[in-house]
Copies of this chain bind each other. A is one copy, B any other.
Amino acid sequence: MSVSEDAGGRPRPPDVYAADCPSRLVLEHVTSRWGVLVLAELLDGTHRFSELRRAVGGVSEKMLAQTLQTLERDGFVHREAHPVIPPRVDYSLTPVGEEAARQVWALARWAEDRVPTVFAAREAYDREKAARPRV
């Protein structure tokens, strides 16, 4: 059965594929481009918005804010806004967030260990393809 249609054959929005795999709805946030890096950084302790911006190189304000809001909504990140001027907002991991951070960090570590292997595989594959383009 296709995910693109329900029993009645009506089309579904593309992103509802995840309905068949609820874990993806959680995973896609913690494994997102900036989610991983933010979680990893917060594993180190509480950080301000601008600290995270610097620590996570290359992230735009928009994407950092969006990522933090998503993680906060999911209950992974705790946001504490201090009513001072200039504004100061501290971000930290919740218990569940720390769990998430450790999980993705472990996966990242595993991936990092396999980087040489994977890159070697890619080169071998590309070499093979170049040698016999049509087989």
Contacts and interface: CB of A to CB of B under 8 A. Distances in A.
A107 B27 contact: yes
Count the copies.
Answer: 2
Interface residues of A, number: 45
Interface string A20-37: 111111110011010011
A108 B27 contact: yes
A90 interface: no
A109 interface: yes
A57 interface: yes
Interface string A100-114: 100110011111101
Given A21-B108, A74-B122, A96-B118, 5 more contacts: A20-B57, A23-B112, A26-B114, A27-B108, A73-B121
